[in-house]
Structure 1
Amino acid sequence: MDIAVVEDEKVIREYLCRLIQGQKPESRIEAYAAGADLLASGKRFDLVFLDIQMEGMDGIETARKLRKSQEETVLIFVTAMKEYVFEALDLYAFQYLLKPVDETKFAEVLERAVREAARKQEKRGLFIKTRNLTLDQADILYIESRGKKVEIHTAGEKENIEIYGTMEGLEGQLGKGFYRCHRAYIVNMDYITEYASDSISLTGGNKVYLAKKKYGEFVKAYMWHLQSGGVSSV
């Protein structure tokens, strides 16, 4: 489970991180002092604790921008002001916590939020607007860029799907089990059978390019994928 804490007050930020670490030690936690830093990271999170009153970009604006690319992220607002609750609900916030944060209440909310994030991961599909079709992400082997089109290669004997679109557009919908290994390829790491410094082999004898400059990053991502419960086909 990938969790982000966005809070401009260092003491509170570290306090929330300690609470999460104590309750969910298997989670990967990232801390940010500003909403702009969270957005600039480009990382996808299952769960985000977001302070509302921050200098510069506040939590509400940060959430609006985050929702454009991460619709499934579970948002929990942390605030000292009750009047923000209605704006939080407009952004489909899962919960809001009032400062000072009560440990018992926090533990209860975190547990429910983690279950909700896991439920969303299980149901996650890839919506293809031009076909009015939702494809189960578990059925995707890899995605290949072909000029102005992308081809979605599927596992088993299912038909491949070719559509007009961009890799960036599809990448924003995919779960963390996928990796952009090359400008022209995104792979489902559950189907990896072998990899080298310049290529990745997948189930069914398929092979795609791996950008050499991404090799180190890819190995870390793949190891984390396996440690987080991903399937090994090696």
Structure 2
Amino acid sequence: MRIAICDDEKSFSSVLKSKIYDYSNLHNWESVVDTYDCGYDLINTKIKYDIIILDYQMEQIDGLETAKLLRSGINKFSCIIFLTSFPEIAISAYDVDTYRFVVKSSLFDGLYKALDDFRKIIKVNYDISIKSSNEFITINTGKITFLEVQNKNSFLHLDNGQMYETKKPLTDLYKELPHTHFFRIHKSFIVNFMHISERGQNYVKVRNYDYELPISRNYLSKFKQKYYNYLKDL
């Protein structure tokens, strides 16, 4: 999740950035947060953002004008969340397809609510493509129960019992999966939280498969935290 903060108060941006990372860790988001203290710098960036948190009142160029120019560039589809001390100016902000308007007097309650709602609408289940047996196969990530590596080849196990073998490294596959739901529990295994049917002290089982997937001691503590956060969000 790529997030931009644009506010001409650097100290405020720094605090907000820290809070967003705290939120991301709590909800299993893999986030990168960048800060800008001028709308022109954000407009001229080559980085495509999922979410842009934009102060409405800024000196050189205000938030509304910044948003209008953003909508004609690579960030035309970004989710824009406006911050302001003056709620009465919210109406004009919706001309630039604003996702949410947050009043600074209740900043974190409003921002966390906006991020909560955004997480509900983004897709967790999406398609990835792998090459298996000289064919390109499209697989929905929600159907994957777990992945494993054997003799340098990766195997994707689906909820219907199907299995696909690919030469794509497990580490590369992991980068393509939603980390809100997938976690590497061992150097040889990645599991989808959605499909866990049983959790032991150092193993998990997934639906439709009888054998235990080991949780490495190196991953155990973080797995417990991530899985707990996933269950809280259900």
| Range class of TM-score, shorter chain | 0.5 to 0.7
> Do structure 1's residue 29 and structure 2's residue 57 form an aligned pair?
no
1:226 is aligned to 231
Greater alpha carbon shift after TM alignment, 219-228 vs 205-214 = 205-214
Per-residue deviation, 1:49: 6.8
Per-residue deviation, 1:185: 0.8
2:193 is aligned to 189
> Do structure 1's residue 75 and structure 2's residue 51 form an aligned pair?
yes
Structure 1 length-normalised TM: 0.62
Paired residues, number: 197
Cα deviation 1:137-169 (Å, max 9, x = unaligned): 221110011243210011134x21111212222
Aligned counterpart in structure 1 of residue 100 of structure 2, from 99, 104, 108: 108
Per-residue deviation, 1:93: 4.7
Q: In structure 2, what is the Cα distance between the partners aligned to 1:101 and 1:164?
A: 54
Quickly say closer, same or farther: Cα 1:202–1:97, change in 2 above 3 A. closer
Structure 2 unpaired stretches of 5+: 102-110
Aligned counterpart in structure 1 of residue 30 of structure 2, from 44, 65, 83: 44
Aligned partners of 2:5 and 2:13 also within 8 Å:
no
Q: Pick the structure with greater CA Rg.
A: 2
Aligned partners of 1:182 and 1:209 also within 8 Å:
yes
2:176 is aligned to 173
AA of the residue aligned to 2:30: R
AA of the residue aligned to 1:44: E
2:12 is aligned to 11
Aligned counterpart in structure 1 of residue 122 of structure 2, from 120, 128, 131: 120
Quickly say closer, same or farther: Cα 1:60–1:194, change in 2 above 3 A. farther
Give the % identical residues: 13
AA of the residue aligned to 2:54: V
Q: In structure 1, what is the Cα distance between the partners aligned to 2:46 and 2:119?
A: 17
Aligned partners of 2:54 and 2:83 also within 8 Å:
yes
Structure 1 unpaired stretches of 5+: 21-27, 32-41, 68-72, 230-234
Aligned counterpart in structure 2 of residue 89 of structure 1, from 70, 73, 76: 73
Q: In structure 2, what is the Cα distance between the partners aligned to 1:228 and 1:52?
A: 31
Aligned counterpart in structure 2 of residue 163 of structure 1, from 161, 166, 171: 166
1:215 is aligned to 220
Cα deviation 1:28-84 (Å, max 9, x = unaligned): 6259xxxxxxxxxx9514xx7753348xxx7689973xx6xxxxx722153644568
Q: In structure 2, what is the Cα distance between the partners aligned to 1:167 and 1:101?
A: 47
Aligned counterpart in structure 2 of residue 142 of structure 1, from 126, 143, 146: 146
Per-residue deviation, 1:91: 4.3
AA of the residue aligned to 1:213: N
Aligned partners of 1:78 and 1:96 also within 8 Å:
yes
Q: In structure 2, what is the Cα distance between the partners aligned to 1:102 and 1:132?
A: 53
Per-residue deviation, 1:99: 7.5
Per-residue deviation, 1:219: 0.8
Per-residue deviation, 1:12: 4.1
